[in-house]
Amino acid sequence: MRQVIIIGSGPAGYTAAIYVARANLSPLVIASSVEAGGELMNTTDVENFPGFPEGIMGPDLMQRMREQAERFGAEVLLDDVTSLELSGDVKRVTVGSGETFQALAVIFATGSAYRKLGLPDEDRLSGHGVSWCATCDGFFFREKTIAVVGGGDSAMEEATFLTRFATKVYVIHRKDSLRASKIMQERAFNNPKIEFVWNSSVTALNGESNLESVGLIDTVTGETRTLDLDGLFIAIGNDPRTHLVHNQLALTSEGTVEVEGRSSRTSVTGVFAAGDVIDPTYRQAVTAAGSGTVAALDAEHYLSALPASLVASANSSS
């Protein structure tokens, strides 16, 4: 049995792992089989993580966090959690290989998942012109006409990045002003390859084997039209990844895991949560890292107050 299992390997999970490992609690980090490193693996330049004045590529930052955690004794497992049993003193975490791990404390840092438009052909055309990841798929759209949906920082970042490949990038946004930060807006406004399509929602994704066009509706006038496109990148935000803990942990009305005040304590004793899965508002790599720190410290305090016999059982078996 472990003292601490950390589920998730974004900035929250790895930062929690660094702290827990430095407290000599040898955490197991279950990092996912395909998405280890979290959302930043799909990002290019990260310019706002303190300590990197020149910026750092998202995957490089995550690799460094992982190495830092491993240096202090964290074990990283590239597998997916399939089920959790969180009640009771001993928590059970089962992964894709079928193996079940036990721990006295669990830190839940599963982040968030890309939001979908909810259109009928979205899944069918995913990977065939419809994408959620410019850094992964941008290369396939050399000299093409594409669009990005959304008005936040992600949409601006993706649109700007995609102008490296595409001839033309539309940004389709349902309002007439952006939610994105000023600096990201300016970059997009000043890019001659980007054209904004304001007050417009995507109503249909058309195409047989690949996306050929999208249906649009003007959110003010109700007018409809078709826009020919080779690709559509959806950047409309994320939803907290809570499917593993439905019916086990209390959730907020926003769908995030509920924690007590500024702590990471969830509704179940010995279970702590950190990062985007508890944060509907700030959702930055830096805030997630800070949140991972809080979870690690809370878990340490929790373990130090447990009966010695229980802690000894975690130390004596694997």
Instruction: Point out which residues bind ligand NDP (CB under 6 A).
Output: 48, 115, 117, 149-155, 157, 174-175, 179, 201, 235-238, 283
Whether 137 sits among the annotated catalytic residues: the reply is: yes
Least Å from the CB of residue 81 to ligand NDP = 24
Least Å from the CB of residue 112 to ligand NDP = 9
CB 111 within 8 A of CB 8: yes
Closest to 193 measured CA to CA, from 155, 241, 145, 236: 145
Catalytic residue among 137, 153, 230, 276: 137
Tell me the C-alpha distance between 194 and 260, whole Å: 44
Which residue has the CB atom at the shortest distance from ligand NDP?
152
Using CA atoms, how far residue 209 sits from 124, 137, 155, in Å, is: 9, 17, 25
Catalytic residue among 60, 123, 136, 176: 136
Looking at beta carbons only, is 19 or 132 nearer to ligand NDP?
A: 132
Least Å from the CB of residue 56 to ligand NDP = 12
Looking at beta carbons only, is 54 or 143 nearer to ligand NDP?
A: 54
Least Å from the CB of residue 152 to ligand NDP = 2
Catalytic residue among 79, 133, 218, 239: 133
Whether 153 sits among the annotated catalytic residues: the reply is: no
Looking at beta carbons only, is 126 or 238 nearer to ligand NDP?
A: 238
Looking at beta carbons only, is 21 or 46 nearer to ligand NDP?
A: 46
Closest to 272 measured CA to CA, from 252, 305, 294, 244: 294
Looking at beta carbons only, is 3 or 160 nearer to ligand NDP?
A: 160
- Going by their DSSP bridges, the two strands 213-218 and 200-206 should be labelled as antiparallel
Whether 60 sits among the annotated catalytic residues: the reply is: no
Least Å from the CB of residue 14 to ligand NDP = 18
Show which residues are catalytic.
133, 136-137
